[in-house]
Structure 1
Amino acid sequence: MPYALITGSAKRIGKEIALFLAKHGWDIIIHYNTSEDKANQLQDEVISLGRKCIIYKSNFLHADDYNQIMQEFKIGLLVNNASMFENDNLHNLKEKDLLNNLKVNFSTPLILSKALMQSHSGVDGQVNIINILDNIIFKLPKNFISYYFSKTSLANFTKLAAKLYAPKVRVNGIALGQIMQNPKQSEANFEKTKNAAPLEYGATVDEICYTIDFILKTKSLTGQIISLDGGSHLDNLNYP
């Protein structure tokens, strides 16, 4: 079985994706930046499921040779999950924050995808790239502007890469609403935002995993962005 490389997978949503894929027969490459202990714990969990597991440390704010890991391992799935965000706006936006968001949320996933595309020959069948996006891409937000520009760039790359990488690679995205409370977010704000969706419901990590499974099993699917946000993408003007 090829490896699945999930960026930012030592904790939270990335961890759950890694465990789900391991349970469904994938060998796993855990990427992390600073969460070494959690990455080691997750590696033990994956190995206990009978799968191979590699730990890959990389700070996406700095240059790295992504071709090396793509060539060293037989990778059939790349999940671009790692992300950063700043609560900024057009009045207080700082160039450094904008460039950092673009680096982590857009240019590194692009370069990783390019490296996978160029080294995919060792994988039987189609290679899959799944970009974890945010439903902010459908909105005109007042805040999180650096994050917004970086995620909309990744969404556009998803569609362009799907066209240019076909037929050997399928590229899709999943745009998330409120899934887990962010450490910087109050519980009241988390519940308010989640309940503001038309369905008064966000989504669960299980639903993310089910969607990944659906994408992997649906060989005709490429260039699609699936929203898991309770319908909040339908209101494209307001972002609480």
Structure 2
Amino acid sequence: MQQRIALITGGSRGLGKNAALKLASKGIDVIITYHTRRDEADALVHQLEQLGRRAAALQLDAGNVRSFATFAEQLKTVLQDKWQTGRIHHLVNNAGMGIYGSFAETTEEQFDALMNVHLKGVFFLTQTLLPLIADGGRILNISSGLARFSFPGYAAYATMKGAVETLTRYLARELGPRGISVNVLAPGAIETDFGGGQTRDNPQVNAMIAANTAMGRAGLPDDIGDAIAALLTSDSNWITGQRIEASGGMML
């Protein structure tokens, strides 16, 4: 049986890094992308190799559609050189960035920056990589609980995530004949540096989130890494076109 390989965009840090480590612990080889911090990416590749997995890191600007064809060629080369294959089995569209701002103050430049990474980038990178995704593979798009519940300051960000959730259903419908399942995972508030680290570093914000979450605490990176690994490594290929929220029951 061919070794399974996952590609995680934005995988050098945060939730992507956690997901890479979780997948490696379950026997999946991993290719991560990074934007600017090659040192972080190389360090993670070393960690993954220490776990006994093969791994690689490729630079990618997830908001620059014109770079995707070149990226695909680089991916083909890495796959052939390191794995002697031309296919990946899992694509995790995780790369992202946050811009906080009220609806009234959000600029067109901020809107476009979010759209290029979170929506246009996801759409066209997935399109570009379709020939490299094995039949029977899985695509997992990362959304946000903010596409369901609302907090002031995230109107533009949540708009992009809502669009990705719609895109996920269309991808599931169109890729179903190839046996490719496509789902969307929506994390709740997680203790990372997202949004300036408010959930992690601000005790008042953390307490507010815990009080509004069924599980009684804010989320941790492990919670999302475990969810990603479960969706990609379990016998769940019959689940497709679905939005799965990993928020501990936030804002129910």
The TM-score range, normalised by the shorter chain, is 0.7 to 0.9
Q: How do residues 107-118 of structure 1 correspond to structure 2 at under 5 angstroms?
A: 107-118=120-131
Q: Which amino acid aligns with 1:90?
A: F
Deviations 1:114-155 (A, max 9, x none): 1232333xx3x5111111111011134432122111111111
Distance 1:128 1:233, change over 3 A: farther
So what's the TM-score if we normalise by structure 2? 0.84
CA shift for structure 1 position 105: 0.9
Q: Which amino acid aligns with 1:176?
A: P
CA shift for structure 1 position 205: 3.1
* Cα RMSD for the two superposed structures: 1.9
Q: Is the 8 A contact 1:171 1:223 kept in 2?
A: yes
Aligned to 1:232: 250
Aligned to 1:179: 190
Aligned to 1:92: 105
Question: In structure 2, which of residues 140, 149, 152 is the aligned counterpart of residue 139 of structure 1?
Answer: 149
Q: Is the 8 A contact 2:143 2:161 kept in 1?
A: yes
Structure holding more helix per residue? 2
Aligned to 2:21: 19
Q: Which amino acid aligns with 2:57?
A: I
Q: Percent identity?
A: 26
Question: In structure 1, which of residues 77, 92, 111 is the aligned counterpart of residue 90 of structure 2?
Answer: 77
Gaps of 5+ in 2: 80-86
Q: Is the 8 A contact 1:138 1:233 kept in 2?
A: no
Distance in 2 (CA, whole Å) between partners of 1:26 and 1:159 is 26
SS of the aligned residue for 1:129 comes to strand
Q: Which amino acid aligns with 2:159?
A: F
Question: In structure 2, which of residues 154, 158, 161 is the aligned counterpart of residue 151 of structure 1?
Answer: 161
Aligned to 2:83: none
Distance 1:69 1:229, change over 3 A: same
Question: In structure 2, which of residues 46, 54, 57 is the aligned counterpart of residue 55 of structure 1?
Answer: 57
Gaps of 5+ in 1: 235-240
In the alignment, structure 1 residue 167 sits paired with structure 2 residue 177: yes
Deviations 1:173-194 (A, max 9, x none): 1111112243612422233223
SS of the aligned residue for 1:91 comes to helix
Q: Is the 8 A contact 1:172 1:222 kept in 2?
A: yes
Q: Which amino acid aligns with 1:179?
A: I
SS of the aligned residue for 2:117 comes to helix
Aligned to 1:34: 36
CA shift for structure 1 position 92: 0.6
The total of aligned residue pairs comes to 231
So what's the TM-score if we normalise by structure 1? 0.88
